[in-house]
Each structure stands twice: as C-alpha cells, then as structure tokens.
Amino acid sequence: MLELKNISLTIDENKILNNLNMRFDEGKRYVILGNNGTGKSTIANLMMGVKKYHPQEGKILLNGKDITDLGVYERAKLGITIAFQNSVRFEGITTFDYLTLGGKVKASLEDAKKALELAGLNSDYLKRRVDSSLSGGERKRIELASILMLEMKYVILDEPDSGIDMMSLETISNIINILNKRGTTTITITHREEIAQNSDYAYLICAGRVFNEGAPEKMASYYKELCDRCDHPNDLLKIAESR
C-alpha cells in the first residue's frame, strides 16, 4: 500500500499541495481527476521522489515504511515508476535500448515487439531513435511500451492520453488492464471520463487537496458537471463556501 499522509508542499512560496491524504492499495486501478493547475502532476512527481517535490510536511509511506526522503532511483528499486506528462527524450538511444534500459531489463526482442504493439506501434520503431524525430504521440506510446517491459508494483501514468488520438483510448485502457492483471497498482491522471470509467477508485483534486473521492462513475460525473464549468478553480475560500 502506498500512502500520502497530510502532505503539504510549497514551491517558491506557492503552496501547491495542502494537507493532502491519499491511499493506493495493491492491485487496484486508480484515477486522479482535476482541472488544470490543481496539483495532479505535482502529486505524481512527489510520489516518484522527484527532487523539487519533497514535501515540507507529511509523509509518504510504502507498506508502512517511510519513503519520504528516498529519491527517484531508490523508489524505482522499490517498484514505483512513472510515465511523465511530457515524455522524456533520449537523444541517440534507439527505442529497443530505451525499452530494455540498455540491456538492464532482461527481455527478448519478442517482448519488446509485443510491448510496442500493445502501445499501438509496429516493430519498425525498435530501430528508431527516441529523439525529436519522433512525434509527441509516438514518444508517448514508446513510454507506455517501456512501462509494460518493467515488472513494477506501482505505475503512475500522468495524462497518458495527452497527444494521443481519440481512437487510442482503448489502447490506454488495455495497457492499464494488462498491468492490473499482473497485480500492478495503476494511478492514472486524466481528464477523460472514459479512462476514469475503467478504474476501481477515483480521487478528485482541487487546490492541491482531495476534494472528493469514491466510485469512478460518481466522481467522473461530479467532475463533468461541476469542475468542467467551474468559475473558481483552485479558489480555496470559494470552495469552502460551496461545500
């Protein structure tokens, strides 16, 4: 179980997360919903241990063990990984090297082909370099394939659908379900109702806090009806008044 307990995070005097509490049980599919700038990617970075996102208050616990001070590499060794909202580029590395972490992941060519195929790309991409010659959507798909190559306990997907066309929502749901079958906990940040429907539990974030949580259908319709047409996003005072 991965837990965020009473987390507050300030960057450059800007309070971004505000007494945040979340819990992710093993083997479940979670979604995080919320308007732009409410703190979703910040939560993702914080869970992954990205340096700038160390909380000033609160704790991150993995099966009860405090991992708040562990960095990205140490957390990866504990089985936590992320596909960032803006896919990373590695100039010079081929897709095959990227998928196998330069040989560190013991995987066959067939495994790499299969992962690419599940992410919606054919095996021609194995030879391509993961650089600016790839389109944004292609890089995103390669990153999703790389997630499939690793046996991780917790996978954070920060807007896996951004830059990917409508038809590919099925690809993303499919990948989430494959991970779920392996017993991986998935934490997907999304604005898409269809992805929320394909999950077990949803968190709705506003102003760096959990504003509401529960059944995905309920949270998705709440988000659509209220947050989508909200005229006071991230305004804590108005949010408090409206509750």
Ligand X SMILES: Nc1ncnc2c1ncn2[C@@H]1O[C@H](COP(=O)(O)OP(=O)(O)OP(=O)(O)O)[C@@H](O)[C@H]1O
Contacting residues toward Mg ion, per CB under 5 A: 40-41, 85
Looking at 38-46, 56-64, 129-137, 170-178, which segment touches ligand X (CB under 6 A)? Answer: 38-46
Q: Which of 2, 34, 142, 146 binds ligand X (CB under 6 A)?
A: 34
CA distance 219 to 225: 10
Min separation Cβ 159 and ligand X, Å: 6
Q: Tell whether residue 39 is a contact of ligand X (CB under 6 A).
A: yes
Min separation Cβ 12 and Mg ion, Å: 17
Residue 240 to residues 175, 205, 210: CA-CA distances in angstroms? 38, 14, 13
210-217: long-range pairs with CB below 8 Å, 24+:
210/20, 210/21, 210/22, 211/34, 211/239, 216/31
* Stretch 49-68 residues interacting with ligand X (CB under 6 A): 52
Ramachandran quadrant class, 64 (left: phi over 0; alpha: psi -120 to 50; beta: rest): left
Half-sphere exposure of 17 (CA within 13 A, CB side): 27
Min separation Cβ 102 and Mg ion, Å: 29
Looking at 31-39, 59-67, 113-121, 171-179, which segment touches ligand X (CB under 6 A)? Answer: 31-39
Q: Exposure of 21 by Cβ count < 10 A (0-12 exposed, 13-18 middle, 19+ buried)? A: middle
Looking at 7-15, 64-72, 138-146, 213-221, which segment touches ligand X (CB under 6 A)? Answer: 7-15
Min separation Cβ 40 and ligand X, Å: 3
Q: Which of 11, 88, 109, 215 binds ligand X (CB under 6 A)?
A: 11
CA distance 152 to 82: 10
For 72, the token pair is 């990205």
Min separation Cβ 114 and ligand X, Å: 30
Residues that bind ligand X (CB under 6 A): 11-12, 14, 16, 34, 36-42, 52, 85
